[in-house]
Amino acid sequence: MAQYERMVIFTGNANRPLAEAIARYVKRPLGDALVTQFRDGETRVLLRDDVRGADVFIVQPTSPPVNQHVMELLVMIDAAKRASAGRITAVIPYYGYSRQEKKTVGREPISAKLVADLIQRAGANRVLTVDLSNPAIEGFFDIPVDHLHAGLLLAQQVQRLLRDTHDIVVAAPDVGAVRLADRFRGYLDSAPLAVLFKDRPQPDEVVMQGMIGDIVGKTVVLVDDLISTGGTLIAAADLLESNGASRVIAVATHPVLAEGALERLTNSAIETVLVTDAIPVPNPPPAIRIISLAPLLAEAINRVHFDISVSELMHQPRLPI
């Protein structure tokens, strides 16, 4: 029995196809909302569907252009709150600013915390998100955060792609990805783990310093949370190849894909890159495969609505819908 009688799902402009797919899975029409801009660039929102007392889900990855998408999310939450929504869940498949989650030198902001504060202050009651670059960001919120992982969906596709998975090594392209890669290898019959050591002399510059793990003659699956310039995965694949890997494929949840990244990845040593549709990738080349998060997010939304455990969802071999 749901706590709130009605569920209404809205979306901003960050990823309408994903929101539509989620709405199809939960068998409800997407809520009618105008999300546009005034002539001066300010965000303009009008929720045309009644939300009084409803369980409102706003699907909006805060992907590039990040500031615009963050603002759309905030203004939509505000609109729902002022229209007396019963409960508001911000469904954020990709949480922008997540890489600024600590100070690395003096006088830097912690932008991931600032964005969390804004989302709560706007009126969100819950957050549903996927593969935060650092799980500690959950603690930046004082409201419930359901943190989903795309690993199982991606691993199932890796199995389909490779068919024979006995020769696989899962690799973390940097120390920060070890936890993610370790969980991922659990979905692939506990494949062995390799770890690469990355240095960033400048913000978008990558130097691979070395690695541990036996990869000679193996198919290596690189696992990361996001791809921005592609520099991390490309440099990792080069190092793996020069150390004797026979094939390199890569999986990442968030295709942030800064300008030129798709081309660089296509021309790299990586055979195939599997990413989710947390962020839309228009016209992906054949080497980039997109796996939809819609079934996972739809099932999680249903579970939040009907007060059923969401963490259980992470341990199921197959999604129930």
List 94, 230, 249, 288, residue binding ligand R5P (CB under 6 A): 230
Select the span of 106-114, 226-234, 278-286, 307-315 touching ligand R5P (CB under 6 A): 226-234
Tokens 């909006």 correspond to 60
Residue closer to ligand R5P, measured from CB, 176 or 295: 176
d(CA 245, CA 170): 11
Residue closer to ligand R5P, measured from CB, 144 or 260: 260
> Encoding tokens for residue 118?
């804004």
d(CA 60, CA 92): 5
Residue closer to ligand R5P, measured from CB, 96 or 231: 231
Is position 131 an interface residue for ligand R5P (rule: CB under 6 A)?
no
Q: Is 198 a catalytic residue?
A: yes
Is position 174 an interface residue for ligand R5P (rule: CB under 6 A)?
yes
Distance, C-alpha 45 to centroid of its chain: 25
List 8, 33, 206, 239, residue binding ligand R5P (CB under 6 A): 206
List 148, 181, 208, 227, residue binding ligand R5P (CB under 6 A): 227
Is position 176 an interface residue for ligand R5P (rule: CB under 6 A)?
yes
d(CA 15, CA 22): 11
List 127, 177, 240, 293, residue binding ligand R5P (CB under 6 A): 177
Residues 6+ apart with CB under 8 A from 86: 4, 52, 53, 54, 55, 56
d(CA 35, CA 13): 7
Is position 268 an interface residue for ligand R5P (rule: CB under 6 A)?
no
164: number of Cβ within 10 Å: 8
In the complex, least distance from residue 174 CB atom to ligand R5P, rounded to whole angstroms: 5
Q: How many residues form the binding site for ligand R5P (CB under 6 A)?
A: 16
List 226, 248, 293, 297, residue binding ligand R5P (CB under 6 A): 226
Give ∠ CA 228-64-19 in degrees, rounded to 5: 110
In the complex, least distance from residue 299 CB atom to ligand R5P, rounded to whole angstroms: 26
Tokens 């830097």 correspond to 108
| String marking each residue 2-31 x if it binds ligand R5P according to CB under 6 A | ------------------------------
In the complex, least distance from residue 22 CB atom to ligand R5P, rounded to whole angstroms: 25
Residues 6+ apart with CB under 8 A from 95: 61, 62, 112, 115, 129, 132, 133, 137
Tell me if residue 295 falls in helix, strand or coil.
helix
Q: Rounded to whole angstroms, what are the CA distances from 128 to 49, 90, 143, 146, 172?
A: 22, 6, 11, 5, 25
Is position 298 an interface residue for ligand R5P (rule: CB under 6 A)?
no
Catalytically active residues, by annotation: 198
Residue ranges that bind ligand R5P, judged by CB under 6 A: 99, 133, 174, 176-177, 204, 206, 224-232
